[in-house]
Structure 1
């Protein structure tokens, strides 16, 4: 039986990429009580990473006496700052094979059947779209013998509905699967990565007070908003670097996070937070806007004409999408979080996310075609950084809190355009800003 040692916790990551040649990647086994027959069975835990997502804990239980088995997936990360909603248009049987991480706090809906699985009624799972349908069918069939004896008419109606769910797997007609998770820890695979997935829409939203209470991050009856920082506190943050103790998100060792308010020239004030871990060397930096949400969204487009463009300062907020039209590439909101870096730094971070740190590139966890596709994408990013490709970089931020340095300031930049636009109703809905409509804004714009 393997155990989680102190060395695993301090100084290196518990969560490893799945690879066939990694002999150390073995599940942790422990004896535990079977809740069906009350004899001892075996629980297996595997700590791993989901590509383009985050760390998860996979667990399975099996009992040799009664044969009962169970599986579960739990997020190993913290509750995210925003909830997430995945809307998938299932158009072919290939879409049924997409991997899905469904947290126990997620709601699953199929609008065409007016079917909904409420939050906290199922354990978290790592499955596929087809697996979600099978699990829903199994849940409905579970109590059918009792229903058939007590109320045959209701049982017949549920049988008819089960048949409709099963027919969805034939994909004779397109249907929609919606997974809405206020914790932000659910996930639906994009098999076209790094390209945009035309069948999948991902949106972020602010949790309601009720959802905070359900997740246990707000006390019941506590509806007061977070207090605004006092004036003296803001002055202190502007003049000093604040340091507080945290745990490293990679190895869980004690680390320090530095925080400071910084005024970006010709833009606004932002909060920069940097964490450095002395144990494993992991470093992160995160940027949050220090000002209010802008009335208009901002789209910044830079035509890269010289390698010196790579040194431009860049602020990417959590609500900003990054597009490279020539590569048909789009990095969605919240990916990579908020960053204050250079254009070169952003492109290197994108390469790390999509290629270098992608478990699909190593081992036998993917096809050679996907590996080749990702490696070619990485090579194109290298050419952009070297100034060998003629491309445009687009920062699209509906909240208007992103920025790209104008090296000609205060004059206009001949290779850069900045476009202001009014958010649509759907964008305001995703961002939780429908109570902040701008003058002249109407629903449906």
Structure 2
């Protein structure tokens, strides 16, 4: 059952606060802070604006804040003291991401209902067990919880029920039955799946177990279709001619982009490199002259290998630690009233273990498991075997092939025009 008209009361009316324009210059760090009652400087900006319900002046409040383990957002809240109408919505403070994102959360407990959710207006929300969907651009963006999303959908369905009962009683009765089913979800009598699919890549579902893996949440990043690009108001660029393979090896390619940290114009360098005793890879690096942010990324220059690779490396000396390590001791998302004491303790213990490994006080094993078979760990003894490194090749499972998109890929029978018989 589609809920294309399931809009929060008043959400369709426009507030006088305009949508924030993409930043053209780096914003000072102090503008976006984690929500905290102890931060006296973190106060919302108030703007007198027109109420679209009674056409008298109300107040719009804007708050620039950070969502833990996500990114910066702008929370906009309007209220009118004359008619009592109010509305709250969120806007991403960053640019549209390079890829879309799809969150699939299996809700089993009441704690799952309390997970924080950022849902932009371009996201589609669905619950497959009820055949229920809220299409994109039918609701304003919101900073809420899983329970809040369901309550918002219930309110949207209930707002037009008096009119339906007067004109279409049978339709109103079916919607009443559906509302009862939605309310049952809030009690979590049985598990259900919540899916948020956002082509802009700016929606978010909290992982309360961070930095550990969340087994109830599956996050998938994907390339947008032409239709999704048009829906977001993006103009597809004309494909460029592919440079000759020899030129790629002899020169550094450059192209313009935006800094993922401050959104200022930046430049990305790309080069094809041959790693000894491995294969060709593509190295990409971005440096921002405005805020100093640097990123680098390595991508495989070849196809998916026939077998997956699992590399186990025994760390016996501090000199073995030649790779970057993420430390979370000073992560600002663990500070303030929104932080979870249990989560902070787990992050602290995790950081202490990393320190012990870095100091050489604890021996550890570094395991890298890549179903695509395209990962690499340097062997300083090459071409001889490394006594502290074990490389295993294994056959992928059906689920691993599914994640790599290989199960439905046909690569044989094209020369004769006949597909292989199965």
Q: TM tier, shorter chain?
A: 0.7 to 0.9
Aligned partner of 1:402 in structure 2 is 375
Question: Are the equivalent residues in 2 in contact too, given 1:205–1:431 (CA < 8 A)?
Answer: no
Deviation at 1:358, TM superposition (A): 4.0
SS in 2 for 1:267: coil
After alignment, is 153-162 or 182-191 more displaced? 182-191
Query: TM-score, normalization: structure 1?
Result: 0.78
Matched, 1:299 2:315: no
> Structure 1 residues 396 and 92 mapped into 2: Cα distance closer, same or farther (>3 Å)?
same
Aligned partner of 2:158 in structure 1 is 141
Question: Are the equivalent residues in 2 in contact too, given 1:206–1:432 (CA < 8 A)?
Answer: no
SS in 1 for 2:321: helix
Question: Are the equivalent residues in 1 in contact too, given 2:310–2:370 (CA < 8 A)?
Answer: yes
Question: Separation in 1 of the partners of 2:406 and 2:199?
Answer: 16
Aligned partner of 1:359 in structure 2 is 333
Question: Separation in 2 of the partners of 1:422 and 1:122?
Answer: 45
Deviation at 1:192, TM superposition (A): 1.5
Question: Separation in 2 of the partners of 1:255 and 1:79?
Answer: 16
Structure 1: where are the runs of 5+ without partners? Answer: 312-341, 440-445
Aligned partner of 2:48 in structure 1 is 31
Aligned partner of 1:229 in structure 2 is 242
Question: Are the equivalent residues in 1 in contact too, given 2:268–2:284 (CA < 8 A)?
Answer: yes
After alignment, is 44-53 or 124-133 more displaced? 44-53
Aligned partner of 2:12 in structure 1 is none
> Structure 1 residues 247 and 201 mapped into 2: Cα distance closer, same or farther (>3 Å)?
closer
SS in 2 for 1:161: helix
Deviation at 1:153, TM superposition (A): 1.2
Question: Are the equivalent residues in 2 in contact too, given 1:18–1:359 (CA < 8 A)?
Answer: no
> Structure 1 residues 260 and 356 mapped into 2: Cα distance closer, same or farther (>3 Å)?
farther
Question: Separation in 2 of the partners of 1:119 and 1:428?
Answer: 30
Matched, 1:269 2:280: yes
Could you say which structure has the higher helix fraction?
1
Question: Separation in 1 of the partners of 2:140 and 2:146?
Answer: 16
Aligned partner of 1:12 in structure 2 is 28
How many residue pairs align between the two structures? 391
SS in 1 for 2:352: helix
Deviation at 1:100, TM superposition (A): 0.9
Question: Are the equivalent residues in 1 in contact too, given 2:94–2:263 (CA < 8 A)?
Answer: no
> Structure 1 residues 85 and 237 mapped into 2: Cα distance closer, same or farther (>3 Å)?
same
SS in 2 for 1:356: coil
SS in 1 for 2:33: coil
- CA displacement, residues 362-412 of structure 1 (integer Å, 9 cap, x when unaligned): 233223332222111111111222233333222233333322112221122
Matched, 1:63 2:80: yes
Deviation at 1:243, TM superposition (A): 4.9
Question: Separation in 2 of the partners of 1:183 and 1:268?
Answer: 33
Deviation at 1:8, TM superposition (A): 11
SS in 2 for 1:126: strand
Aligned partner of 1:436 in structure 2 is 409
Question: Separation in 2 of the partners of 1:437 and 1:422?
Answer: 18
After alignment, is 93-102 or 17-26 more displaced? 17-26
> Structure 1 residues 282 and 227 mapped into 2: Cα distance closer, same or farther (>3 Å)?
closer
The structure with the larger Rg is: 2
Deviation at 1:197, TM superposition (A): 1.9
Segments ≥4 residues shifted beyond 6 Å: none
Match of 1:178 among 195, 199, 203: 195
Question: Separation in 2 of the partners of 1:143 and 1:59?
Answer: 25
Question: Separation in 1 of the partners of 2:359 and 2:410?
Answer: 42
Aligned partner of 1:377 in structure 2 is 350
> Structure 1 residues 155 and 301 mapped into 2: Cα distance closer, same or farther (>3 Å)?
same
Deviation at 1:137, TM superposition (A): 0.4
Structure 2: where are the runs of 5+ without partners? Answer: 1-19, 413-422
Question: Separation in 1 of the partners of 2:201 and 2:219?
Answer: 11
Question: Are the equivalent residues in 2 in contact too, given 1:256–1:275 (CA < 8 A)?
Answer: yes
Query: RMSD across aligned C-alpha pairs, in angstroms?
Result: 3.0
Query: TM-score, normalization: structure 2?
Result: 0.82
- CA displacement, residues 297-327 of structure 1 (integer Å, 9 cap, x when unaligned): 433222222222212xxxxxxxxxxxxxxxx
